[in-house]
Amino acid sequence: MTVESTAARKPRRSAGGKAGATGTGTETAAEATGAAAEATGTGAKRAPRTTRAAARKGTAEPQLVQLLTPEGKRVKNAEYDPYVADVTPDELRGLYRDMVLTRRFDAEATSLQRQGELGLWASLLGQEAAQIGSGRALRDDDYVFPTYREHGVAWCRGVDPANLLGMFRGVNNGGWDPNSNNFHLYTIVIGSQTLHATGYAMGVAKDGADSAVIAYFGDGASSQGDVAESFTFSAVYNAPVVFFCQNNQWAISEPTEKQTRVPLYQRAQGYGFPGVRVDGNDVLGCLAVTKWALERARRGEGPTLVEAYTYRMGAHTTSDDPTRYRHDDERAAWEAKDPILRLRRFLEASNHTDEGFFAELEAESEALGRRVREAVRSMPDPDHFAIFENVYADGHALVDEERAQFAAYQASFADAPEGGN
Ligand SMILES: Cc1ncc(C[n+]2csc(CCOP(=O)(O)OP(=O)(O)O)c2C)c(N)n1
Ligand SMILES: [Mg+2]
């Protein structure tokens, strides 16, 4: 991969990031995954399974950065407040709008899958704050390596939402030029994009640029060897990369407690760079913590791990049925911590909005849904032979053979007797 950067060249500090992990290293596996559910929750009839495990062990909650409570109250935080001190009411409304439109787009995509217009959809429902907060912390010259669920980050990068759907409809292999928005194509091979991000960030450092790189991945991905290698390489090469882990509590049907014995953010400690857990349903918290981590990267202080503690409200994908492995009450407890609702409460309490704002946004949401629906339905079917293109730069005998086989197969239909194929 070539690294091009037009950013101002600035000398970087020498390697050796501070080991500033915020964890105590004493929490148990149960706390690692579930205890913060109570830190921000308003309580449900039955606590989530992971929380019950922590309660059984009588263990304390891991630290969690939170600037906005579920009730929409602003919490002071001396360390991270400076990173959001300049956020204007207009920008706050902007964050709200981003989250509402992302959720509306996501709901439309789920419906389109149910109507047979998409083959599959991976919903981000519940993770809007983690994605919009971190996405809005980025500069245009920063580079993003996403998974397959980063629709909110894509929105922040200016990728047309309709373009996200081509791959899920099966009509293209991605649908956007990564270099137009510094937003790489969606990556399905779990965790592999952290390696791409690390390599890219090492290139940025060699260029002497002061831009940063961010890699998104999930709690399940944190168990991948690729992620461990990325942590090692980024640490020793002091690469300007932020590892943004959305701990949404589940990796398909595997709960986070099966991935780790310590809170995920503490993994960074072993590699010698800081790790922070932020309330992933708090858009201001995510904005502040990501800005802090990006600034560290720009200053030449190397990688940071951010664990955004959140929840996957929907199914893993439209092919999944979460009722097979988790209780409804778990979801109910997280509904009380909804990222959009809490910002709305804050905006209303601060008199930053009026009814007109919400009504206009509602109309804008519906228009977005309509536009995406129409765009998907009118996507042209691909040339059947396009799948053989772009496999190898100069072609390959095996691909040629497969193309010929497929051509013969297609041709066999022309000769088939009427009514049969
Ligand atoms: C290398 C690899 N192994 C397995 C899979 C199958 N797979 C797809 S999604 C997924 C779970 C990922 O969970 P997590 O990292 O927590 O992300 P989330 O889906 O929760 O956003 C798995 C195992 C895959 N795509 N790639
Ligand atoms: Mg997950």
Domain boundaries, the chain: 29-377
pLDDT at 415: 66
For the cut 50, the answer to whether the pLDDT of residue 5 exceeds it is no
Q: Which long-range contacts (CB under 8 A, 24 or more apart) does 380-388 make?
A: 380/171, 381/171, 382/170, 382/171, 382/172, 384/410
Q: What does the buried/exposed string (b/e) look like for 70-88 if buried means 16 or more CB atoms within 10 Å of the residue's CB?
A: bebeeeebeebeebbeeee
pLDDT at 42: 34
Which protein residue has the closest C-alpha to ligand 1 atom 6?
Answer: 190
The residues, any chain, with a CB within 8 Å of residue 296's CB and separated by 6 or more, are 17, 274, 302, 304
Rounded Cα–Cα distance for residues 83 and 276 (Å): 15
Give the domain 29-377 fold.
Rossmann fold (3.40.50)
Helix-strand-coil split of the chain, %, nearest 5: 50, 10, 45
Distance 132 CA to ligand 1 centre (A): 22
Which position has the token pair 């149960």? 30
- pLDDT classification of 19: cutoffs 50, 70, 90: very low
Please give the helix or strand (H or E) that residue 399 lies within, else none: helix 397-415
Which protein residue has the closest C-alpha to ligand 1 atom 12?
Answer: 251
pLDDT at 152: 98
Residue 224 alpha carbon, nearest atom of ligand 1:
1
For the cut 70, the answer to whether the pLDDT of residue 93 exceeds it is yes
User: Which residue among the candidates 136, 296, 316, 342 is catalytic per the annotation?
Assistant: 316
- pLDDT classification of 390: cutoffs 50, 70, 90: confident
- pLDDT classification of 99: cutoffs 50, 70, 90: very high
pLDDT tens figures, 100-141: 999 999 999 999 999 999 999 999 999 999 999 999 999 999
**Closest ligand to residue 120's CA:** 1
From 128, 131, 246, 252, give the residue whose CB has the most ligand 1 atoms within 8 Å, as the site to mutate: 252
Ion ligand 2, residue ranges at CB < 5 A: 218-220, 248, 251
Residue 217 alpha carbon, nearest atom of ligand 1:
15
Residue 189 alpha carbon, nearest atom of ligand 1:
26
**Closest ligand to residue 227's CA:** 1
Angle at 140 between CA 135 and CA 145, to 5 degrees: 55
Handedness of CA 233, 238, 242, 246 (dihedral sign): positive
pLDDT at 2: 34
- Count of other CB atoms within 10 angstroms of residue 119: 13
326 as an active site residue: the answer is: no
- HSE, CB side, 13 Å, CA atoms: give it for residue 114: 8
Q: What secondary structure letter does DSSP report for 266? A: G
Ligand 1 neighbours (beta carbon < 6 A): 149, 188-190, 217-221, 248, 250-252, 312, 316
pLDDT tens figures, 222-276: 999 999 999 999 999 999 999 999 999 999 999 999 999 999 999 999 999 999 9
| Contact call for residues 10 and 210 (beta carbons, < 8 A) | yes
Rounded Cα–Cα distance for residues 224 and 239 (Å): 20
- Count of other CB atoms within 10 angstroms of residue 9: 11
Distance 249 CA to ligand 2 centre (A): 6
Query: In 267-409, at which residue ranges do the beta strands (DSSP E only) sit?
Result: 275-279, 304-309
Rounded Cα–Cα distance for residues 122 and 223 (Å): 20
Over the chain, what is the mean pLDDT? 87
- Count of other CB atoms within 10 angstroms of residue 326: 16
More confident: 384 or 97: 97
384 as an active site residue: the answer is: no
Measuring CA to CA, which residue among 267, 337, 272, 339 is closest to residue 306? Answer: 267
151 as an active site residue: the answer is: no
Which pair of structure tokens corresponds to residue 351?
Answer: 């008199």
Rounded Cα–Cα distance for residues 264 and 173 (Å): 32
Q: What secondary structure letter does DSSP report for 54? A: H
Amino acid 280 reads G
For the segment 301-320, the average pLDDT, to the nearest whole number, is: 98
The residues, any chain, with a CB within 8 Å of residue 156's CB and separated by 6 or more, are 98, 131, 132, 135, 136, 138
Burial label for 15, CB within 10 Å (0-12, 13-18, 19+), is middle
Residue 218 alpha carbon, nearest atom of ligand 1:
15
User: What is the model's pTM?
Assistant: 0.86
Which pair of structure tokens corresponds to residue 284?
Answer: 């201001």
